[in-house]
Chains A and B, each alone.
Chain A
Amino acid sequence: SSELTQDPAISVALGQTVKITCQGDSLSSYYASWYQQKPGQAPILVKYGKNSRPSGIPDRFSGSSSGNTASLTITGAQAEDEADYYCNSRDSSGMNVVFGGGTKLTVL
């Protein structure tokens, strides 16, 4: 079982804002990173650190954190944002890497 918990599925209307969350005890100590994965493709890093985005990732993707919960916010969701989203961080010991179970985002 994962030490990071995500809602299995969430939906958002086109153009609206959606927040995808990730919960875990280790998140009070370590940053979460976030990945977008579309069917048949490798994951793509969309956010890491306090609130950093790799080059090429639209600025509608942003991150935040409070206590043991990290969030990825998509402001003005687009049809192409429909995908699975995974969070990733270290475990409570800080020694290992863990992924959340993933959230399937549907853009209506």
Chain B
Amino acid sequence: QLQLQESGPGLVKPSETLSLTCTVSGGSISRSGHYWGWIRQSPGKGLEWIGSIYYSGSTYYNPSLKSRVTISVDTSKNQFSLKLSSVTAADTTVYYCARHEQYQLLTHFDYWGQGILVTVSS
């Protein structure tokens, strides 16, 4: 059974860079055909896609966050990571990592991590 687990600091100062890692177990991150994504959710609010990465390293990002987001993958560690720069209080949310299936007319996230709350505060 594929499992994903987010890790990283739960508190980040304003203007700094948020860094999170997602560790994948129960399967290989480099299996062809899968993207790996980050999604966030403000308390009491809806889901927002941040971006996704293919095992080869190709990425695509939410246009509203693109200027601040970098997603990378380390297949040797079976991990992928998120960096979000110049954070503000508006970036205080729960961050989820998930396996992202995207092909032909479909896009969906079928395995999710439990989520990690990141608070931006001085």
Contact = CB atoms under 8 A, between A and B. Distances in A.
Interface of A: 2, 29-31, 33, 35, 42-45, 48-49, 54, 86, 88-90, 95-102
Interface residues of B, number: 24
A12 B49 CA distance: 29
Contacts of B46: 2, 86, 99-102
B47 A33 contact: no
Contacts of B108: 33, 45, 48-49, 88
Contact of B110 (A29, A54, A90, A97): A54
Interface of B: 37, 39, 46-49, 52, 60, 62-63, 96, 100-102, 105-110, 112-115
A43 B112 contact: yes
B49 A99 contact: yes
Given A42-B113, A42-B114, A33 B52 contact: no
Nearest to A44: B112
A49 B47 contact: no
12 contacts: A30-B105, A30-B107, A33-B108, A35-B109, A42-B112, A44-B112, A45-B109, A86-B47, A96-B60, A97-B37, A97-B62, A99-B49
Contacts of B115: 42
Contact of B49 (A31, A44, A49, A96): A96
A30 B106 CA distance: 6
Contacts of A88: 47, 49, 107-109
Contacts of B63: 96
Contacts of A31: 105-107
A99 B47 CA distance: 6
Contacts of B47: 35, 43, 86, 88, 99, 102
Contacts of A100: 46
